[in-house]
Structure 1
């Protein structure tokens, strides 16, 4: 059954960490909805390879509209976590135990949402200490799956495993 995946994204996202999972989700029949501060805005990846037109503004959506949350890496999650609307949006997915897929720096949004305590997770090397301080049970492996709900990966090399496990959780 097709699921609708909220994707929180802004400028300086890691290009392949958005494009490859988004393609895998769409190829499996799921809908990927991009969310930023305003609908119609264009955001650009940090490699300048990808430009994404935003589908919805954060004020026009609520977690109950979606089946899962996807947080691509790059500098995007760090920018988004400065905005309480995105923090609360992500926190609600975690609190309701809806699927959350966060790669590379994506868990930064979950750190700010105080949603990693006791959760098995991984992330980019430079945020692993932050994740530990946030109470995550940190593992250094290509993909971590916690309670068939939270899927995290460290870096672009881990995308195939990230996609595989994210799609398994969506089944």
Structure 2
């Protein structure tokens, strides 16, 4: 397996598990993951939010950890990366207002490079205009945006544990889907883990 260089887009109040767990999993299997946030540099942190499913009409939100950035947003060049990871949480709702962020997403989609996006991360995909005709899923609250952007909706299962693959795009609804989401993303990356 050739190690890949992966870019992860985060911002303040990114979902804690959706940033930390993929970062750790992808690093654990030998990939290099650069975490970046507009306006911040390597060594800075973003605050995270923990979203949980506690029986309310929507998820609850609590303050999470500080997540360290290991690369400087202003210095990255998308062409130098093999794949992109977009966690959910609160950050996608404002990151999608940054044209540089959208250009990064468009680069990966145009070049047909693997993209793993979860939960509200799909807000970046819709704002970048890269989901038309593609089958994907997300947190159910993002479904109207995906459909309006021309995506073909894949239903979320009752435990939020499924993931959807369409070519090089791998999407999931929320952090309970990490095992399936990351398994499918590793397949798309060509990462083989021997038993």
Same fold (TM over 0.5): yes
> How many positions carry a matched residue from both structures?
170
The match for 1:159 is 178
The match for 1:35 is 36
Q: SS state of the match for residue 155, structure 2?
A: coil
Runs of 4+ off more than 6 Å: none
- 1:41 positional shift: 2.2
The match for 2:165 is 145
The match for 1:11 is 12
- Candidates 85, 98, 101, aligned match of 1:83: 98
- Kept in 1, the 8 Å contact 2:117–2:172? The answer is yes
Please say if 1:64 is aligned against 2:79.
Answer: yes
- 1:58 positional shift: 2.6
RMSD over aligned Cα atoms: 1.1
CA offsets per residue over residues 67-124 of structure 1, 9 Å max, x none? 0000001011112111111011111101110000000001100100000001111000
- Kept in 2, the 8 Å contact 1:58–1:86? The answer is no
Q: SS state of the match for residue 73, structure 1?
A: coil
Q: Provide the C-alpha distance between the structure 1 equivalents of 2:48 and 2:74, rounded to a whole number of angstroms.
A: 23
Unaligned runs of 5+ in 2: 51-62, 157-161, 191-195
- Kept in 2, the 8 Å contact 1:58–1:85? The answer is no
Q: Provide the C-alpha distance between the structure 2 equivalents of 1:56 and 1:86, rounded to a whole number of angstroms.
A: 15
Q: Which has the larger radius of gyration?
A: 2
- 1:59 positional shift: 2.2
CA offsets per residue over residues 25-46 of structure 1, 9 Å max, x none? 1111001100112213210111
The match for 1:168 is 187
Q: SS state of the match for residue 64, structure 2?
A: coil
- Kept in 1, the 8 Å contact 2:20–2:67? The answer is no
Q: SS state of the match for residue 2, structure 1?
A: coil
- Kept in 2, the 8 Å contact 1:43–1:51? The answer is yes
Q: Provide the C-alpha distance between the structure 2 equivalents of 1:74 and 1:49, rounded to a whole number of angstroms.
A: 11
The match for 1:131 is 146
What TM-score comes out, normalization by structure 2 length? 0.84
